[in-house]
Amino acid sequence: MTKYKLRLSLMITAFILIYGAALTGCKSTTPDDPHYLTADALPEFEQADFDLYLQETEHWLRANRVFNSADEDKEIKANLPYEIKPEHPNGQGVLLVHGLADSPFSFIDIAEHLAQQGYLVRTVLLPGHGSKVGDLILPTLADWQGVVAHHTQLLKQDVDQVWLGGFSTGANLVTSQAINDDEIAGLLLFAPAFKPDAFVAALAPAVSHFITWADRDPEDNYTRYNSLPMNAAAVYYQTSEIVRDDLEKADYDKPVFMMMSEGEHVIDTAYAQSVFSQVMTNTSNKLVWKGEVQPMDKRAVRFSMDLPQQKISNGSHLGLLFSPLNPVYGPGGEITMCGNGQGEVDEAKCQAGEEVWYSAYGYQESGKIYARLSWNPYFAESMSVLDDVMQQGTQQSSKTLADIFVEPITLSM
């Protein structure tokens, strides 16, 4: 490898370490591990109806997934798109799009909550996800844009009004879709990755032509990938470029719910806040901020993440979506994310079951062992704010920007 390529590789590796949401630690791997191989082709996503999409996607996953355990059905269920039909339909639907290296499971608690409110809820699987991380070498930007566009149109056929929701990279995709589709009722954005916090992310598209892997770790989490091909990092960055271009031209007055953590280092939260204040102008909008510094926008609702009684030091990128009652990612759940950028000794102590604190990736305090915070201690309160946005947003008119920067709201526990 030339010095130039090595330097770029090190820079991208640094970015991936900062982009800790997709990682669980740096460990060596076996080059011929089947997780890092690629499928012959990606699954189709343009079926004529959602049930056929589910059937054919499940068939593809069973044929192409590298399983981490003997419980294949559990792993398929966690990675398969799903539909939750409400007991009392309100005529509206929500399409939820997961993030980079993630799966539809990331939205299970939010999807169930929305269905309880009367929404028909569907999730999709971004091509390259759910099977084995090597398949993330295959997708293009058009694949990810295409699945969102197609399933937005399918959902429109079954409801009167469609909302779009997304996490991180998924938030980029749904925001671009909504800006360019005036029929969308509004947006639900969780840690929108409009702009990466690390500038070296911009190198990913160029570097992907000669470096295959940004990071390669043991694949031991059945709900998401731990490794990341350079191609996937490049496609993510393309989504961020496009959504920033869309936002620069937009005056988006439809209702928006946005939630972010102050402590994370994956996305540029200052940029996302400025977009919320300057572009997303509906007066019913709410920014749910998990942190200690109150945002200027009066529509922001702040929840303190300094929660020593729960052994929580700050909020994380991942710690927005799951309820504390989630059996996989809640406190005491099936998965503890010990790979938190703290070094091998403390990571091993975490894995051995020693007492841990919870934080964003990379956060450390002397004398404490950290795991990634993987649940939202304010899940019920956050969903209440989300409900208000969806119920009231379309009935209120936009205000001028001059009215926005006054009287912040502060909530904490």
Residue 306 three-state SS: coil
- Cα–Cα distance between 372 and 305 in angstroms, integer? 14
**pLDDT higher than 80, residue 202:** no
Interval 36-43 mean pLDDT: 97
Q: Is 35 exposed, middle or buried (0-12, 13-18, 19+ CB in 10 A)?
A: buried
Tell me the C-alpha to C-alpha distance, in Å, between residue 271 and each of 197, 274, 278, 279, 365. Answer: 9, 5, 10, 11, 28
pLDDT of residue 410: 43
pLDDT of residue 181: 97
93-97, 196-200, 286-290, 312-316: segment of lowest average pLDDT: 196-200
DSSP characters over 156-202:
HTT-SEEEEEEETHHHHHHHHHHHT-TTEEEEEEES--SSBSSGGGG
The number of beta carbons lying within 10 Å of the beta carbon of residue 160 is 11
pLDDT of residue 341: 86
pLDDT of residue 409: 43
CA atoms within 13 A on the CB side of 317: 29
**pLDDT higher than 80, residue 401:** no
| Per-residue pLDDT tens over the stretch 206-243 | 777 778 998 898 999 999 999 999 999 999 999 999 99
| Per-residue pLDDT tens over the stretch 384-393 | 999 999 998 5
Reference 402, options 303, 283, 233, 256; nearest CA is 283
Please indicate whether residue 341 or residue 314 has the higher confidence score (pLDDT): 314
**pLDDT higher than 50, residue 367:** yes
> Residue 214: which H helix or E strand, with range?
strand 213-215
Residue 128 three-state SS: coil
In the block, residue with structure tokens 């703290």: 342
Structure tokens at 174: 């749904």
Please provide the average confidence, as pLDDT, over all residues in the chain. 89
**pLDDT higher than 70, residue 320:** yes
- How far does CA 185 lie from the centroid of its chain? 21
Residue 328 three-state SS: coil
Q: pLDDT above 70 covers what percent of the chain?
A: 87
**pLDDT higher than 60, residue 406:** no
pLDDT of residue 136: 98
pLDDT of residue 395: 55
Q: pLDDT above 90 covers what percent of the chain?
A: 80
| Per-residue pLDDT tens over the stretch 284-314 | 999 999 999 999 999 999 999 999 999 999 9
Could you tell me the pLDDT band of residue 4, with boundaries at 50, 70 and 90?
Answer: very low
